[in-house]
Amino acid sequence: DGGITQSPKYLFRKEGQNVTLSCEQNLNHDAMYWYRQDPGQGLRLIYYSQIVNDFQKGDIAEGYSVSREKKESFPLTVTSAQKNPTAFYLCASSNRETQYFGPGTRLLVL
């Protein structure tokens, strides 16, 4: 089955710790995206990548980093510089028509 997987489903971060959220897709899509969603809020773009080894900052990139070493994978690292990381993180990929989303990772701070 084709789709987008994200892991883990829940992630706990201690203060000062970097954590990495996984996103994998087998849809053969070139573009991939990371969004942050806060309660009652829309989708805010963190980073996106159009092609392997290339990525651009979105609207709220501070405190986050990404890599795109493979077409299928677009991991997001939430660094210690992100002071308010508690949120629902969604990964998406797109063909030339629209975006398809993964199931999300909920990040909580201990």
Query: Which residues bind to other proteins, rule: CB under 8 A?
Result: 30-31, 33, 41-43, 48, 50, 88, 90, 94-104, 106
Q: Are the C-beta atoms of 89 and 36 separated by less than 8 Å?
A: yes
Note the Cα 29 to chain centre separation in Å.
Answer: 15
**Closer residue to other proteins (CB): 51 or 81:** 51
CB 80 to other proteins: min, Å: 27
Q: Among residues 5 and 20, whose Cβ is nearest to other proteins?
A: 5
